[in-house]
Amino acid sequence: MDDVLLRITNLEAGYRLRQGMIRAVDGISLDLMKGEFLGIAGESGCGKSTLAYTLMGLLEDNAEITGGEVLFKGENLLTLSRNRAKEIRWVDISMVFQSAMNALNPVLKISEQLTDTVLTHLPGLTKAKALDMAKKALALVDISEDRLDAYPHQLSGGMKQRVMIAMAMILEPDLIIMDEPTTALDVVVQRTIIDKISDLQKQFNFSVIFITHDLSLLVEISDKLVIMYSGQIVESGPAEAVYRHPAHPYTRGLMNSFPPLSGPLLEFGGIPGRPPNFLDLPEGCRFYPRCPQRKDICRQLPPELLPLDEVHSARCHLLKDGNA
């Protein structure tokens, strides 16, 4: 337990609409260890961002946390006072947002945005010290000091994204949550940024939760993988095990959506169909309508998350018969 940085137990969160409740995070439990790189993958709409925003305490007004516990270094993030939340967030847990490139303030220089972040959370510091921290943080993401006076529009997309990563790292948090941090970038820039994040994480040993719809980005850099479908975890385990022996038909579908890292190029599979509507979920397995291996029991009963071994588990009835 000593090495567990974040323990999420049975977390439930969602959005209350007139038609009913969208339970976008529906009973999520997971442990994140110190220095661990956790990749969370799943199609658009499966609840990845809702999970991230719940952890950051940044849910929208119509959102509600309806159950569970999130322990960060033993402290429940869901019951923090406003002041304690301010102390923890950004200093101990920071986030790189999906639309990070547009999150920079267009009328402030890069130096001001970085020093403002520092001084908001560490008001006792001098401006000179904050500027020094800004320079060091930019250097970590390979941006030279002479860009400190630049405005966001003077930087390329990849550079803006790296500034956002610098901002997330500047206070040396224990956990950085990255929600699709490279989606808007072209593939080459995306690769450079992923490699940079991976290098920095190894160098400074912070923990990362990296969220993306693109599983191919995650297999090389993650220690652990969590696959989400319709608000639930459908598979989790060490990245290598999930990649080599995907146990859930949905994970296999996601795997088939991208070319293998080595060996012959397979035809792109993809997964026909769409995830279910949260307001009209199937009675049994939520993946049933799209599953190429479905059986009668899958239509009737929702499957539990079953352990395959001590570290790898999947939510699929077929595992019980050993024929998934």
Q: Which residues of this chain interact with ligand ATP, rule CB under 6 A?
A: 15, 17, 22, 24, 42, 44-50, 60, 62, 213, 278
Query: CB 210 → ligand ATP: shortest distance, Å?
Result: 13
Q: Is the Cβ of residue 231 or residue 249 nearer to ligand ATP in the bound state?
A: 231
The beta strand positions in 34-161, using DSSP E, are 37-41, 63-72, 75-76, 93-96
Q: Which residue type, as a one-letter code, is found at position 207?
A: S
- In the complex, what is the shortest distance from the CB of residue 84 to ligand ATP, in angstroms, rounded to a whole number? 25
Within 13 Å and on the Cβ side, how many CA atoms surround 278? 21
Please name which of 143, 171, 168 lies closest in space to residue 156, comparing C-alpha atoms: 143
Nearer to ligand ATP, 37 or 229 (CB): 229
| Residue number of the CB atom closest to ligand ATP | 49
Q: 5 or 51: whose CB is closer to ligand ATP?
A: 51
Least Cβ distance, residue 204 to ligand ATP (angstroms): 26
Rounded to a whole number of angstroms, the minimum distance from the CB of residue 63 to ligand ATP is 6
Half-sphere exposure of 182 (CA within 13 A, CB side): 20
3-state helix, strand, coil in the chain (%, to 5): 35, 25, 40
Cβ density class 210-237: b for 16+ within 10 Å, e for less: bbbbebebbbebbbbbbbbbbbbbbbbb
**H or E stretch covering 33:** strand 20-33
The CB-of-276 to ligand ATP minimum distance in angstroms stands at: 10
Cβ proximity to ligand ATP, 26 vs 174, nearer residue: 26
152's tokens: 């966001």
Choose between 47 and 152: whose C-beta lies nearer to ligand ATP: 47
